[in-house]
Each structure stands twice: as structure tokens, then as C-alpha cells.
Amino acid sequence: FDGNLLDMVELGVTGFQEMKEFCEEKISVGIKPCVIFSGSKWDTDEDYKVMQSLLLDMFNREQCSKVRFQGLEHLLHFIATDDDRLLLRSYRMRLKKSGTDSEAPKVD
């Protein structure tokens, strides 16, 4: 990179709510979040493609070859709306026994 800024995105924030306002349980520090992008603009708009790449780089830690279900605790959901807004939802996930013989756990 040689000290150069290659890409930058400036965003405005409206309607901010701290997680402690609606979530009593805290997300563990250092947890790598699951990231979901919803909306067609992530695939069709070049500015959104750059933003998606920057967001993934920002939340990416080390590469992992396996996923431990117990480590799936934090979900970040980025939603691109038709009226050019970007919504961010943060969820804490809890795994529960599914009650079946399947290997996949139930996520609430």
C-alpha cells in the first residue's frame, strides 16, 4: 500500500441505538461475526461492491478452515435499501438443542 489510501467510504449515521438498550446479554470480545448482505445493490452497484469489500475486510480476522457451532455468537446484517440507505442490524445468537437427531443445532 506504500502509505496510500486506496478506498474510502463516508457514511452518515441516523437512528443509532446502543446494543445495551435492547440486549441484556453481551457478545464475547474477539468473536468473529457472521456477516450477511441483503439487497440487490450489493451485486449491481459498483459503490456498494466496494463498500461490501471494505466491510468484509474490516470484520475479517484470521481465515478459518472449520466453523465451530459454539463460536457462532454474533451476526451482522447489512441491508441495502432501494432508497439508498444502508441499515445495520447486530444480533446475538444462542444455540439451542434442536430436539431431533439431526446434526444441525437450532438457532434463535
Say whether 19 sits in a helix, a strand or coil: helix
Residue 92: phi and psi, rounded to 5, are -100, 125
pLDDT of residue 108: 56
pLDDT of residue 78: 96
Which helix (H) or strand (E) element contains residue 60?
Answer: none
Contacts of residue 48, defined as CB under 8 A and 6 or more positions apart, other chains included, come to 41, 42, 80
pLDDT tens-digit readout, 27-83: 777 777 889 999 999 999 999 999 999 999 888 767 777 777 766 788 899 999 999
